Structure 1
């Protein structure tokens, strides 16, 4: 049962006059925000997170191009714009205008460019910003950067400093900053979609909803501590707080269960190609990666080490591993290759088992079916199990009226790496398996993509485990504060400059 706003206002007024246990923390609860908390931990205002002054940098890619974007951020941005355009006033805000750029000292023409003026706080960083869209020749870009460097109060930006200033001024939460970094580095459709959802604030909004639940529960507990004996509170306040906390625990467990999927989506799913010698494993790796990664030879034992290549499989990131053919009674070098293949097999998320469709009765094929395929097929069907796709390669060698399928074989697919027959079916099956392993970035709640997210959510869940309102209310309130602190770390930073440095070092200069 909730506390009405009039009663809440009354309690806040009374708490301002009382010094009972928990009153100060309850007052802090009413004005809590992750960004203000982080700034308090830093000992300065939000702007102290980034070095001062006005910064400038090339924000588009290096090299010759049609258009290059140079941007500035800081209080001297307007001065820089006036210095390069010889104009008394900047152009209308957020409107592109064609201007002749000149060097502030020599007056030498540099380029005719589109200039855009973004006065703070309505800008990406929250400060006054300028964008110069110049022609992308190296001489033009170099000349404009030198001209900006000659303007008093401007200095070159460091890597990630624009985004860091946006975070410092509350334009982006830390989760959104990480989503922006992931979006810049996204190489597949699934990575792009997941990063865009995080940049749009879906993970941050989810955390804010969790924080609201904790705020409400903590307000009820703190109010009960101070006023429970006065009979000023409605009945069932503690019971409602306990129900809300237990529901939050269930939600956190669900997200932690999916945390490994988000990390796979960000870093790539480990897909291992395995099978007996000469089954076509290297040919399959080359087919899926669309480049000659592995040497293909009819001689058994050609592949003796693990060859890895990152690939885009049906829109999902994957690390594809080609391994040595599994067999016994070989030389020392190939034995080491087989040992490494079996070791890599244990680390796989998805296993592509390859057999020669025209030689299923061979001892090596039978051994592979018994020692590798059978244990995977009979394992318990939970989400953490290794997933297997069994492929019968060289289907083009089968006669049209011959049956390649043995009724005793587990579910499998026919494939010909030489002709490409069956490749579409394989890619569709891989897409289904990868969606299970990574989670579908197009639907459902946003997944956790970093170990930092998992750490703080686990810490929040551990703190909620100590919430026992029926034993000690003071300890229960402290458990809620500890849980909320972990959530604030997730969206508002770790509270130390070193952790922020690790996050922002992934950005390039100009972003």
Structure 2
């Protein structure tokens, strides 16, 4: 599929910069090469130094030009990439020239990647992975996005879909050439075993979404404890800046304060909370309730104990006890003890956090990375479960078709028009 217009955009970073890369894609590319470079054409996939000229034949800049003929390009169309000096004036002059040419128009956000999808160069999961790769903040996010961008998800889902269609075709063929009463029991037993086995594999795959969610959204750590236990001091120490107010007055922290950290290549969201105690102050009561709510939903609670106040009870999934202010008192060797004044024990705390993160973010196989994937996978499993419960092979065949369609929507093989605008609008212009 080829778009009727040719699009162009700055594909590199914000200007000014050392180099500006302008990408042009569409059917008009061969015709505009001589207009811009003065050359009749360019050798495919070879960087050529050319003088880019405006409508009066005056030079705009000397640039490296690379021509990618269709279909061997990112978009599947004819593509020209121009690498100029990264000044705003140079880029503006080139854009002014491109805007004068017939059939060319500025690209909207995600337009190049959408054309790559429409021309069969990538599937939807790879497009989403490219989007995730562009905004990746940590090494774990980069590795997750890269593993999906290379087509691993597409191959997995297409393989499952092929298995479903194969079972469906065998059922349809048997129904076409016999009465249902003539279908041997062993045929039905074999079909149900295959369906159950496939449903089990998809359920196992779906379990991996929680890992992807933690990698992309961040592992959530709540720092909790009694007032003045050293929570805000620990937050400031980890963030290497003063993000929370530290005083000797109990109840200083009233609201939740969150910082984003990179620990061992993983995104971690650390939340400072109000000191947990019984209070008559209505504002502090709100802060205490918010602290308990945050603790209940956190992936990990660091429960600080300064040895002065009673350690509060916690309703949390995972609690790691930490003795604070170790420079001012004796601490047990069995529990992590830290001092934000001297830095003592921080390395031990970070090592323990890294161990926990390793166990919660380790990816052994391809995992679904978006809620859209989860929805379609759950739809597929529901259809497979209905197929297993049905005694009518016509209904089994129909449920298998529904399950296969759910997998097809994951990769964009079928019925995705309503998704395109939402998915590709999330890209930056030039991608």
Instruction: Assess same fold via TM > 0.5.
Output: yes
SS of residue matched to 1:467 = helix
Who is 1:58 aligned against?
10
Who is 1:260 aligned against?
210
Confirm whether residue 428 of structure 1 aligns to residue 351 of structure 2.
Answer: yes
CA distance in 1, matches of 2:134, 2:46: 26
Moved more, 232-241 or 142-151: 232-241
Question: Pick from 87, 94, 109: which aligns with 2:39?
Answer: 87
Superposed CA offset, 1:248-281 (max 9, x none): 1111111222323322221222221111111111
Q: Shift of the alpha carbon at 1:218?
A: 1.2
SS of residue matched to 1:345 = helix
Who is 1:243 aligned against?
193
Moved more, 414-423 or 159-168: 414-423
Who is 1:211 aligned against?
161
Q: Shift of the alpha carbon at 1:228?
A: 4.2
| Contact 2:221/2:301 (<8 A) preserved | yes
Change (3 A) 1:225 1:284: same
| Contact 1:58/1:509 (<8 A) preserved | yes
Who is 2:342 aligned against?
419
SS of residue matched to 2:71 = coil
* Long gaps (5+) in structure 2: none
Q: Shift of the alpha carbon at 1:495?
A: 2.4
Change (3 A) 1:494 1:332: farther
Who is 1:502 aligned against?
422
What is the number of residues matched between the two proteins? Answer: 431
Who is 2:95 aligned against?
145
| Contact 1:213/1:245 (<8 A) preserved | no
SS of residue matched to 2:386 = coil
Q: Shift of the alpha carbon at 1:311?
A: 2.1
SS of residue matched to 2:415 = coil
CA distance in 2, matches of 1:494, 1:209: 15
CA distance in 2, matches of 1:345, 1:393: 19
Who is 1:71 aligned against?
23
Moved more, 203-212 or 106-115: 203-212
CA distance in 1, matches of 2:236, 2:4: 51
CA distance in 2, matches of 1:396, 1:468: 64
Moved more, 91-100 or 491-500: 491-500
Q: Shift of the alpha carbon at 1:469?
A: 8.6
Counterpart mapping for 1:157-306 below 5 A: 157-228=107-178, 237-306=187-256
Who is 1:485 aligned against?
405
CA distance in 2, matches of 1:218, 1:228: 16
Runs (4 or more) in structure 1 with deviation over 6 Å come to 232-235
CA distance in 2, matches of 1:273, 1:480: 48
Superposed CA offset, 1:425-468 (max 9, x none): 2222222222333x314xx1122221111100000000001214
Q: Shift of the alpha carbon at 1:52?
A: 3.3
SS of residue matched to 1:508 = coil
CA distance in 2, matches of 1:55, 1:64: 22
Q: Shift of the alpha carbon at 1:494?
A: 7.1
| Contact 1:262/1:448 (<8 A) preserved | yes
CA distance in 1, matches of 2:421, 2:355: 38
SS of residue matched to 2:310 = helix
Confirm whether residue 325 of structure 1 aligns to residue 275 of structure 2.
Answer: yes
Question: Pick from 299, 304, 310: which aligns with 1:354?
Answer: 304
Task: Give the TM-score taking structure 2 as reference length.
Answer: 0.94
Q: Shift of the alpha carbon at 1:291?
A: 2.4
Confirm whether residue 98 of structure 1 aligns to residue 29 of structure 2.
Answer: no
Q: Shift of the alpha carbon at 1:73?
A: 0.5
CA distance in 1, matches of 2:104, 2:279: 70
Who is 1:457 aligned against?
377
Question: Pick from 69, 82, 95: which aligns with 1:119?
Answer: 69
Question: Pick from 279, 298, 316: which aligns with 2:266?
Answer: 316
